[in-house]
């Protein structure tokens, strides 16, 4: 029988709820005069919970978000370490506000549902605390995606788990009514392996299992690779596209995935899109697909593999930036890469484009050449220094219509050329 449905566990939960009702406070709160407001969880218990995570003792200059702050002990502890803190709960908690007054705290309090709150509403934070909340939401991966999008560096995630074994098959129990400890507001019970998988699926590049205390697991999600991890050899990117639509349209409001195509490469792949690392969910010797990292702003972002030459991609249909006159290189011809029909480029599977450029240095490396189609980069696949010809692949799902093409090299860009995609 699952512990969640064990009658003895349910009875213990009932006793705890009765004790909480008498105390009124769930978190114990240390006061400036040395006194303590006694809560259901002692200060030692609360410290033990937060000590499961590798949070620096000095958070000066950092911004911290505490989701499900409740009475606020974790918020006040982060503030004590020097952070600027925003505490979020689904309802207004008057005990947190009372404690804030008694402590002379500057913690901000915000009422919102984590399944509806995103970085577009409140911005991003260096550290996000998501402690004891996940099993209270009906949409756990959506909640974790929102947590990920609001995280710049690390998220500390604590949840009830049905089994603390991270090597087990990822599974989750669902509680339709009061099956988990006899409480109506408990919905899901992932095992630890499922919790880890949820965090990776939500968009965290690295996920570390920290510990299990009883039926609680502690996991840290990171938005960056380990220092130096991306700086080995880098595969040469030949095309980037939306994994579902096979075009260059990416939305920060959709569950979009990015596919990198590259020349054959046998090493580890460490993708980066804008300021965030992105874990591959599928990888072969010539391509890797990643989730578009949550938390990116509308506009142009550089995408790269292993710290190699970046490719620029646009999110939420940003307008192409005006190309500055280079005074050097210029396009002399643009044609379909197969039919060589001038200025009319066929789209679809296997489509490609050829251009000819003048004044391009003979030593120009192919991997540093970019064709920019409506502002999005098409990496050069082949380049002839003698003739100035450059070939690039096109995503298969491009829509027909007028487009603007430029050639970019060494921080210079040609005057735009209008072409027709057919």
Report the distance separating Cα 371 and Cα 89, nearest Å: 48
- pLDDT, average across residues 94-103: 96
pLDDT of 1 reads 45
Q: Is the pTM higher than 0.95?
A: no
Residues whose CB is less than 8 angstroms from the CB of residue 224 and which lie 6 or more positions away in sequence, other chains included: 153, 205, 206, 276, 277
Q: To 10 degrees, the CA torsion angle through 370, 372, 373, 374?
A: 160
Do the strands 344-345 and 417-421 form a parallel or antiparallel pair, or are they unpaired?
Answer: parallel
- Neighbour order of strands in the sheet with 84-89: 108-111, 84-89, 63-67, 125-131, 151-160, 216-222, 206-213
Helix (DSSP H) and strand (DSSP E) numbers for the chain:
7, 28
pLDDT of 22 reads 61
Mean pLDDT, all residues of the chain: 93
The pLDDT tens digits of the residues spanning 49-74 come to 999 999 999 999 999 999 999 999 99
For residue 321 the two structure tokens come to 């930036």
pLDDT of 232 reads 77
Q: Which residue has the higher pLDDT, 201 or 228?
A: 201
- pLDDT, average across residues 4-13: 60
pLDDT of 327 reads 64
In percent, the amount of the chain with pLDDT more than 70 equals: 93
pLDDT of 322 reads 75
User: Has residue 130 got a pLDDT over 60?
Assistant: yes
User: Has residue 226 got a pLDDT over 80?
Assistant: yes
Report the distance separating Cα 29 and Cα 185, nearest Å: 25
* Residue with tokens 């090597």, as numbered in its chain: 167
- Angle of CA points 328, 333, 336, to nearest 5°: 135
* Residue with tokens 């995609």, as numbered in its chain: 421
Q: Which of these ranges, 23-37, 277-291, 303-317, 344-358, has the smallest mean pLDDT? A: 23-37
CATH of 3-222, one of 3.90.76.10, 3.40.50.150, 3.40.50.300, 3.90.400.10: 3.40.50.150
DSSP 255-270: --EEEEEES---S---
- Which residue, 236, 243, 261, is CA-closest to 352? 261
415: enclosing H helix or E strand: none
Report the distance separating Cα 316 and Cα 268, nearest Å: 30
For residue 217 the two structure tokens come to 């697991």
- Which residue, 308, 5, 30, 293, is CA-closest to 150? 293
What number does CATH give the domain 330-421? Answer: 2.60.40.10
pLDDT of 14 reads 52
The pLDDT tens digits of the residues spanning 258-312 come to 999 999 999 999 999 999 999 999 999 999 999 999 999 999 999 999 999 999 9
- pLDDT, average across residues 123-129: 98
Domain extents in the chain: 3-222, 237-315, 330-421
- pLDDT, average across residues 399-421: 94
pLDDT of 161 reads 97
């Amino acid at each position: 029988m699952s512990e969640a449905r064990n009658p003895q566990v349910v009875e213990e939960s009932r006793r705890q709820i009765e004790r909480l009702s008498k105390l009124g406070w769930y978190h114990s709160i240390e006061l400036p005069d040395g006194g303590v407001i006694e809560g259901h969880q002692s200060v030692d218990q609360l410290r033990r919970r937060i000590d499961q995570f590798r949070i620096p003792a000095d958070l000066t200059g950092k911004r911290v978000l505490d989701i499900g702050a409740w009475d606020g002990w974790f918020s006040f502890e982060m503030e004590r370490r020097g952070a600027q803190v925003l505490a979020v709960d689904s309802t207004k908690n008057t005990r947190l506000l009372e404690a804030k007054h008694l402590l002379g705290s500057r913690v901000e309090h915000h009422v919102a549902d984590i399944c509806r709150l995103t970085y577009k509403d409140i911005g991003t934070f260096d550290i996000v605390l998501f402690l004891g909340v996940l099993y209270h939401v009906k949409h756990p991966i959506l909640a974790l995606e929102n947590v990920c999008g609001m995280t710049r560096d690390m998220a500390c995630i604590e949840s009830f788990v049905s089994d603390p074994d991270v090597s087990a098959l990822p599974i989750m129990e669902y509680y339709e009514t009061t099956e988990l400890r006899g409480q109506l507001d408990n919905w899901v019970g992932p095992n630890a392996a499922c919790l880890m998988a949820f965090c990776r699926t939500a968009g965290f590049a690295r996920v570390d299992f920290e510990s299990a205390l009883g039926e609680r697991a502690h996991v840290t999600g990171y938005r960056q690779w380990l220092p130096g991890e991306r700086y080995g050899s880098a595969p040469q990117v030949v095309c980037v596209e939306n994994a579902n639509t096979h075009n260059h349209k990416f939305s920060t409001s959709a569950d979009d995935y990015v596919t990198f195509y590259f020349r054959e490469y046998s090493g580890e792949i460490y993708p980066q899109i804008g300021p965030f690392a992105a874990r591959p969910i599928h990888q072969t010797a010539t391509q890797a697909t990643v989730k578009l990292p949550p938390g990116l702003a509308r506009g142009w972002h550089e995408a790269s593999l292993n710290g190699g030459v970046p490719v620029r991609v646009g999110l939420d249909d940003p307008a192409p930036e005006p190309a500055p006159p280079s005074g050097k290189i210029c396009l002399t011809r643009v044609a379909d890469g197969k039919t060589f029909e001038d200025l009319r480029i066929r789209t679809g599977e296997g489509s490609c484009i050829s251009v000819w450029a003048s004044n391009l240095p003979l030593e120009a490396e192919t991997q540093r050449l970019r064709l920019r189609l409506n502002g999005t980069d098409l990496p050069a696949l082949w380049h002839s220094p003698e003739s100035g010809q450059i070939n690039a692949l096109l995503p298969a799902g491009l829509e027909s219509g007028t487009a603007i093409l430029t050639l970019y090299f060494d921080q210079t860009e040609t005057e735009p050329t209008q072409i027709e995609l057919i």
